[in-house]
Chains A and B, each alone.
Chain A
Amino acid sequence: MKGAFWPMLRKEFRQALPAAAGIIAAVMAWQMFLYTRIGRWPMDVVLIVSALPFGFVPLWVLSRGLSTLRQEWAGNHMYLLLSLPIPGWYIAGAKVLVVTVEGLAYGVVIGAGWLLLARGSGGLELVALEAVRLPWGAIILLGGLSLTSPLATAVVAQFSYVASRLAPRLRGLALAVLLPLSGWFVTRAGTVLALPFLWLPHIDFTVHAVVDGVTVRSGMALDVAPVIGSLLAVAALFWATATLLERDVEL
């Protein structure tokens, strides 16, 4: 039914909100605690510990990609979702979107906390972040990359879970096999699908960074083709997930 994606998306956001709010509150509490450690702990320790939650974001996105679907089956809500006259991508898309936004939100909160700590400590020069200058093209591409990463993780998790539901037995084992396999697929297919886009120009730029008061210039080049290739591979996997959900998967 036309326009029925929004109620599905709203439902997903509402469902994800309590856990997401809890995690964001926990991260903020952790950053505030670290703020009180400025001057008591060595500054590089504070900054490193503050950035630690970054390492958990991909794992969290992966786990959420799986659990958003698992909880639908566990709570018998799939009876409702699969009886709706909607394309499979409504269900898959709403979940992927919410998990991606969650991943980005955690990244932003952790990053913002880290920056505030760095500012508060006067240690910003140490990391030279303020002095780094990037052209707009590179910023957009890096932004795209940071979006692609949680998106790809969520889609890989979702495809693996849905495909594992097709196994009549040993679904846990099927999932354990499918997860690395679909991750490998996205990487390989991304490389192959990038080939037709190799003609696209690189985004060349120079990074001006101030490290310990000395300006360091380094030339860098970002390839657009791998990003497009990866996005196409993720789109293919997403399409497969949506098709399985709509046509093949059972309760």
Chain B
Amino acid sequence: MTADPIVVLRDVYKRFPGAEALRGVSLDLPAGQIVGLLGPNGSGKSTLLKLMAGLYRPSSGTVLVGGRAPDRRTKTIVSYLPEVDHLYPWMTVQGSLEFVRAFFADWDDERARALLDFMGLAPGKKVGALSKGMRARLRLVLALARSAPLVLLDEPLSGIDPPSRSRIVDAILSEYRAGRQTIVISTHEVLETEALFEQLVLLESGTVKLQGDAERLRAEFGRSVQGIMEEVLA
């Protein structure tokens, strides 16, 4: 790993009442790469992203984003796409963009417009009137319209129809600023996203099972990412 890590986790535990979502996770995520955060449901992927986004605090251990514990300032360098619908249904598509834009200096108007077009979203339409797939597209527009050094995409394809899936993958690829931006994509469906990943992190039951360069791991295992996942998590 040559690049300086943009995210560092050391012996991170996250406990909820009756459950331990993360158990001693230690990770260095290199800057300027696309990282696949893989694992089955309940493996701790979303919890890990929320810790990086500053939406959760670790029960113990250290989380550093851009060299500091997540706080208001680290949020300026993080663009986070949650797995849930978090937008206001009464806002229009354009209104949602304008609302988010007001808080981020790295918002790129031209990019937002291009992404809206690419995703086939009508600016005047109410968010509540959009289909699930279109709302997922809009969430991705909001996450990618910024030039944030760290982009966290939590299950961007989950429950999305096939046309929207391929649009989303295409958008991630076309908007990725290689070398300047780190994209962490959590997913348990790797078939569509496999080609994106430069780094892999495999989680199971809140622990890291495997981490490394995607190409090297493919060569080592002699299998696709899907195959590696099946073998390691078997």
Residue numbers of A with Cβ under 8 A of B are: 1, 3-4, 6-7, 11, 14-15, 75-80, 82-87, 168-169, 246-248, 250-251
Are B103 and A15 within 8 A (Cβ)? no
Are A83 and B53 within 8 A (Cβ)? yes
A-B contact count (CB 8 A): 70
Which residues in window 68-120 of B have CB below 8 A to A?
71-73, 75-76, 78, 80, 82, 84-90, 98-100, 102-105
Given contacts A7-B103, A11-B99, A79-B82, contact A85 B57 (CB under 8 A): no
Given contacts A1-B103, A7-B99, A15-B90, contact A83 B78 (CB under 8 A): yes
B22 CB, nearest partner CB in chain A, Å: 14
Please measure, in the bound complex, the distance between the C-alpha atom of A83 and the C-alpha atom of B75, giving whole angstroms. 6
A17 CB, nearest partner CB in chain B, Å: 10
Are B55 and A1 within 8 A (Cβ)? no
Say yes or no for B61: interface residue by CB 8 A criterion: no
Residue in A1, A14, A76, A85 whose beta carbon sits within 8 Å of that of B84 in the complex? A76
Given contacts A7-B99, A79-B82, contact A85 B76 (CB under 8 A): yes
A67 CB, nearest partner CB in chain B, Å: 15
Are A7 and B102 within 8 A (Cβ)? yes
Are B56 and A250 within 8 A (Cβ)? yes
Chain B residues near A87 (CB, 8 Å)? 72
Say yes or no for B133: interface residue by CB 8 A criterion: no
Chain A residues near B98 (CB, 8 Å)? 7
Are B99 and A79 within 8 A (Cβ)? no
B155 CB, nearest partner CB in chain A, Å: 13
Are B17 and A168 within 8 A (Cβ)? yes
A-B contact pairs, 20 of them (CB 8 A): A1-B105, A6-B102, A15-B88, A77-B86, A78-B86, A80-B87, A82-B54, A82-B55, A83-B54, A83-B75, A85-B73, A85-B76, A85-B104, A86-B72, A87-B72, A168-B16, A246-B72, A250-B50, A250-B56, A251-B55
